Each structure stands twice: as structure tokens, then as C-alpha cells.
């Protein structure tokens, strides 16, 4: 006789997110997520690093945190200390760094430390969906600030902060992705960063700087980190190896003043992030990071070119976009009649997955006809074929692009 399945549902507390859907695999043409190029994972170097580091230090795995304390593998923090000084102008000690399980854990720790239900956080109007969903789940009000080609618009930020102040609201932080913004691909120049710091200090609102794409800049010109420019220490800097090496490793980091880092560390109750990943990264990166990254960005730039070419060919003037300054995403505007959420469903049924704009924006109406495509993980052929299928679906559903859009564009 079959017994009745145990009823967990009656035990669930209020306020849980909806249940997760079961994984059904990637679409044939997958332009979603922050996935990387599988061909560019530096396998040989990683294999050699695993061998070397395990042979030398493998027995330290017997101790939680490799006997390096709770902030992460010391050699990885030392690598980051040198790299952050060289690339981002950040002068920090290895002890100012906390290694975490991807920058998502960094966001969780920042949020757990600073936020309570009903708080307010300032975000870029177009921003990382993972940050928006986290804030939504915590019952936090998000105020979206419009962007221009240099990132956060300072006039809009200053007036939003003044308005909030008048209403007695002091936001808990300003969340920004200043170096290759997700999804728009802009880089905030140094002068704008200085303005941002000034506004943040005037209103006493700290900045959370999410810099996970900062290694992937086409011309390699990375401005100093906002963290490095701050004289008051009101900045939390977050980084990751997900975009420069591989996201499945789940290794990110936080640089913050001890007053904040010590609070986040107290909330990081997982007994340390995966140690083998940290050991392998430290071993690999010390020798190869500086040569790996230019190769990676060159390959990514070639894929972006293929994507832009395919869009021009298939969508003509119906697809508008600015060339991103680096990274793995293209942010696209389609004609107003296109509903990106509906396009998402129809395209998925045809084997193409895209990220609909409204999921990456606080302004659902403004982003209705926008979408984000990740060009890093599909092959060049998949990019070309996938865009052709997407155009066909879009034409069928919304009447655009017209069949000869690219010809019309030239005529
Ligand atoms: C802006 C931003 N922050 C954080 C993350 C999460 O990255 P990680 O893999 O380091 O957790 C992503 C991933 O796409 C991202 O785009």
C-alpha cells in the first residue's frame, strides 16, 4: 500500500519565495544569463594548477578554511591585493578582503548587514536582475536612477536623494555597476565617479560598487575603482572570478572597511567558501591571469561583432543598440510594439532564450521593448542562427522586422 507523501507545505513559514522550477536544460540558442565562453575556460592551466597546488598543499584541506582563517585562502587574497592595486588603484591589505562564494554571496552579505524590510536602496534604472530580485524579496523599496552613456545620471541621483531626504528617508546604499554596466555596457569615467562620491558623501549614503565585469574592457582602460577614490571609506567593493575565469567556480570577493567587513564576516556562517576553487585560482592566476584576460576579451569582442552583424542583417534598423565598452552583453531596443516578455515566451518555444528588458529594469514601461543578449556562451554559428530565428519569431508575433529590413535601412 502506498503511503501518503509527507506534507511539507503545511510547515512552510510565510514569506518564502515561490518554489523553484525544475531545470529543463538550456535552449538550443541560449543568449541568457552571465555565462562565459566554454572555449575560453583556460583548461590546461587550471589542470596544471590543480596538480601543483594539491601536491604542495593538499593536506591543508583537512582543516576548515585551510588553516588560513575565515576570510579565505591567503595566497588568493594576496594575489587580489596586488591585482586590485595595479588594475583598480585599490590600496588594501589581504586582511581587508573577504573571499565569498561568488559576488552573489557578497550581495547577500551586504544586504543582510544593512537592510531591514521597508528600507530604501538606490539602484541604476537598468541593473542586474539578481540584485533587483534580492531587494524585492527583502521587502526593500528600490529607487531607479536613469542612466546615460556614462552610467548613473548625477542630476537625477542628486534630485532623488534630495527628495528622499525631504521625506525623511535615508537610503541604505547606492548600488552601481560602474565598469561595464549590466546590462547597458557603459563605463563610468573617473570624473563622474568623483561626482558620485561627492553626492554619496553629501547625503551620507554609502556606495556598493559591483565591479565583476571590470577585467573585460575592450581597450583595457579601467578607471580607478570608486573604492580607491573614496577618502571617507564609504564604499564597499565587490568583485568576482566568474567573468574572468569561470562562473561555476563560485569565487568572488569583498573589499570593505573593517567596520563593515567584520559584520559581514559574522554573517558568513558557511565555514568558508570552497577551498579547492580558491587554491586553484590562486595558483593559476598568479602566473597566467595577465595573459589570459586579453585573450578572453579579444574572443568576446569577436563574438560581439558577430552578434551586431547578425542583428543588422536580420533586424536592420529595428534593433537599436550602443556598442558596449566590454563585457558579455548587448542591450537592445526593438520597436515599441514589441513586448519583450511575450517575445521571450515565443522565442523560447522556437529554441531561443533571451533576457527580457523588464526583468533588468525598475521602469517596466521604458524597458518593455528592450532585451539583453549574452554573446559569450553561444558559438559564432549559434549567434548567427539564433538571431535569424529570433527575427523570424519577432516578425511573426509583432510584424517587425519587416522581411527586408536591412535593405530598407540602406535605402
Ligand atoms: C552585476 C552582477 N553582479 C553579480 C553577479 C553574480 O556573479 P557571481 O557569479 O560572482 O556570483 C552577476 C552575474 O551575472 C552580475 O552581472
Per-residue pLDDT tens for 40-81? 999 999 999 999 999 999 999 999 999 999 999 999 999 999
Core vs surface per residue 163-177: b (16+ CB within 10 A) or e: ebeeeeeebbbbbbb
Evaluate: CB of 209 within 6 angstroms of ligand 1.
no
Model confidence over 189-210: pLDDT tens digits?
A: 999 999 999 999 999 999 999 9
Q: Taking a C-beta distance cutoff of 8 angstroms, is the pair 227, 90 a contact? A: yes
Evaluate: CB of 247 within 6 angstroms of ligand 1.
yes
Q: Which of 35, 130, 247, 330 gets mutated to test ligand 1 (max ligand atoms within 8 A of its CB)?
A: 130
Residue 411 has pLDDT above 50, yes or no: no
The torsion angle over the Cα atoms of residues 128, 129, 134 and 136, rounded to 10 degrees, is 120
Quick one: what percent of the chain has pLDDT higher than 90?
A: 96
Question: What average pLDDT does range 361-375 have in this prediction?
Answer: 98
pTM, full prediction: 0.96
294 CB-near residues (< 8 Å, 6+ apart)? 220
**Residue 1: its pLDDT value, please?**
65
Mean pLDDT across the chain = 96
Q: Cα(first)–Cα(last) distance of the chain, in Å?
A: 74
Three-state secondary-structure class, residue 353: strand
**Residue 3: its pLDDT value, please?**
87
**Residue 404: its pLDDT value, please?**
52
Three-state secondary-structure class, residue 217: strand
Three-state secondary-structure class, residue 238: strand
Q: What are phi and psi of 323, to 5 degrees?
A: -70, 120
The CA distances from residue 75 to 123, 250, 271, 279, in Å, are: 34, 17, 18, 8
Measured from the CA of 104, which atom of ligand 1 is nearest? 11
Q: Taking a C-beta distance cutoff of 8 angstroms, is the pair 301, 330 a contact? A: no
Sole residue written with cell 558579455: 328
CA 164 from centre of chain:
27
Query: How far, in Å, is the centroid of ligand 1 from the Cα of 327?
Result: 12
**Residue 335: its pLDDT value, please?**
98
d(CA 85, CA 81): 6
Question: What average pLDDT does range 365-380 have in this prediction?
Answer: 98
Handedness of CA 63, 68, 72, 76 (dihedral sign): negative
193 CB-near residues (< 8 Å, 6+ apart)? 178, 223, 224, 226, 229
Q: Which runs of consecutive H residues, i.e. helices, occur in 89-234?
A: 102-114, 129-137, 154-166, 190-203, 226-229
Three cell numbers written together for 297: 576579451
Query: How far, in Å, is the centroid of ligand 1 from the Cα of 7?
Result: 35
Evaluate: CB of 210 within 6 angstroms of ligand 1.
yes
**Residue 405: its pLDDT value, please?**
45
Q: Taking a C-beta distance cutoff of 8 angstroms, is the pair 120, 143 a contact? A: yes
Q: Taking a C-beta distance cutoff of 8 angstroms, is the pair 227, 254 a contact? A: no
Q: Which runs of consecutive H residues, i.e. helices, occur in 316-365?
A: 340-349
Q: Taking a C-beta distance cutoff of 8 angstroms, is the pair 369, 340 a contact? A: yes
Model confidence over 152-174: pLDDT tens digits?
A: 999 999 999 999 999 999 999 99
Which residue has the CA at smallest separation from atom 15 of ligand 1?
128
Q: Angle at CA 242, nearest 5°, toward 240 and 245?
A: 110
**Residue 409: its pLDDT value, please?**
40
Q: Taking a C-beta distance cutoff of 8 angstroms, is the pair 235, 203 a contact? A: no
- CA nearest neighbour of 334 among 368, 308, 307: 368
Evaluate: CB of 240 within 6 angstroms of ligand 1.
yes
Confidence of residue 15 (pLDDT cuts 50, 70, 90): confident
Residue 408 has pLDDT above 50, yes or no: no
**Residue 86 CB-density burial (10 A; 0-12 exposed, 13-18 middle, 19+ buried):** exposed
Q: What are phi and psi of 311, to 5 degrees?
A: -65, -45
Evaluate: CB of 103 within 6 angstroms of ligand 1.
yes
Evaluate: CB of 128 within 6 angstroms of ligand 1.
yes
Query: How far, in Å, is the centroid of ligand 1 from the Cα of 212?
Result: 6
Which residue has the CA at smallest separation from atom 13 of ligand 1?
34
Evaluate: CB of 102 within 6 angstroms of ligand 1.
yes
The torsion angle over the Cα atoms of residues 119, 125, 131 and 134, rounded to 10 degrees, is 40
Which residue has the CA at smallest separation from atom 2 of ligand 1?
128
Three cell numbers written together for 388: 535569424
Query: How far, in Å, is the centroid of ligand 1 from the Cα of 104?
Result: 6
- CA nearest neighbour of 319 among 310, 114, 14: 310
Amino acid at each position: 500500500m502506498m503511503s501518503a507523501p509527507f506534507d511539507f507545505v503545511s510547515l512552510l513559514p510565510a514569506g518564502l519565495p515561490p518554489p523553484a522550477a525544475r531545470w529543463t536544460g538550456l535552449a538550443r540558442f541560449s543568449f541568457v544569463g552571465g555565462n562565459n565562453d566554454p572555449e575560453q575556460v583556460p583548461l590546461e592551466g587550471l589542470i596544471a594548477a590543480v596538480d601543483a597546488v594539491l601536491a604542495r598543499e593538499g593536506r591543508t584541506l583537512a582543516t576548515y578554511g585551510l588553516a588560513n582563517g575565515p576570510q579565505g585562502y591567503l595566497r588568493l587574497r594576496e594575489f587580489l591585493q596586488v591585482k586590485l592595486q595595479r588594475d583598480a588603484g585599490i590600496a588594501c591589505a589581504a586582511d581587508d578582503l573577504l573571499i565569498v562564494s561568488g559576488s552573489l554571496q557578497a550581495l547577500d552579505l551586504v544586504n543582510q548587514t544593512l537592510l531591514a524590510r521597508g528600507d530604501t536602496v538606490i539602484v541604476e534604472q537598468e541593473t542586474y536582475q539578481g540584485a533587483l530580485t534580492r531587494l524585492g524579496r527583502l521587502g526593500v523599496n528600490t529607487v531607479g536612477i536613469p542612466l546615460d552613456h556614462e552610467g548613473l545620471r548625477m542630476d537625477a541621483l542628486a534630485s532623488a536623494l534630495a527628495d528622499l531626504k525631504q521625506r525623511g528617508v535615508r537610503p541604505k546604499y547606492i548600488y552601481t555597476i560602474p565598469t561595464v554596466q549590466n546590462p547597458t555596457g557603459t563605463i563610468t569615467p573617473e570624473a563622474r565617479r568623483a561626482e558620485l562620491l561627492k553626492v554619496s558623501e553629501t547625503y551620507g549614503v554609502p556606495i556598493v560598487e559591483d565591479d565583476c565585469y571590470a577585467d573585460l574592457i575592450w581597450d583595457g582602460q579601467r578607471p580607478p575603482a570608486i573604492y580607491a577614490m573614496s577618502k571617507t571609506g564609504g564604499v564597499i567593493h565587490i568583485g568576482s572570478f566568474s567573468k574572468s575565469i569561470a562562473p561555476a567556480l563560485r569565487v568572488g570577493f569583498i573589499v570593505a572597511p573593517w567596520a563593515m567587513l567584520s559584520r559581514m564576516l559574522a554573517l558568513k556562517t558557511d565555514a568558508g567558501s570552497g577551498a579547492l576553487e580558491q587554491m586553484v585560482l590562486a595558483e593559476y592566476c598568479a602566473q597566467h591571469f595577465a595573459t589570459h584576460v586579453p585573450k578572453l576579451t579579444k574572443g568576446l569582442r569577436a563574438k560581439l561583432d558577430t552578434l551586431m552583424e547578425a542583428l543588422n542583417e536580420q533586424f536592420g534598423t529595428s534593433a537599436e543598440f550602443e556598442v558596449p565598452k566590454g563585457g558579455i552583453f548587448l542591450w537592445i531596443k526593438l520597436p515599441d510594439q514589441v513586448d519583450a516578455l511575450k517575445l521571450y515566451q515565443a522565442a523560447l518555444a522556437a529554441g531561443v532564450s533571451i533576457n527580457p528588458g523588464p526583468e533588468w529594469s525598475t521602469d517596466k514601461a521604458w524597458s518593455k521593448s528592450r532585451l539583453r543578449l549574452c554573446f559569450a556562451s553561444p558559438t559564432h554559428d549559434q549567434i548567427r542562427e539564433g538571431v535569424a530565428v529570433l527575427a523570424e519569431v519577432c516578425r511573426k508575433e509583432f510584424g517587425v522586422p519587416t522581411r527586408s529590413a536591412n535593405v530598407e535601412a540602406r535605402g
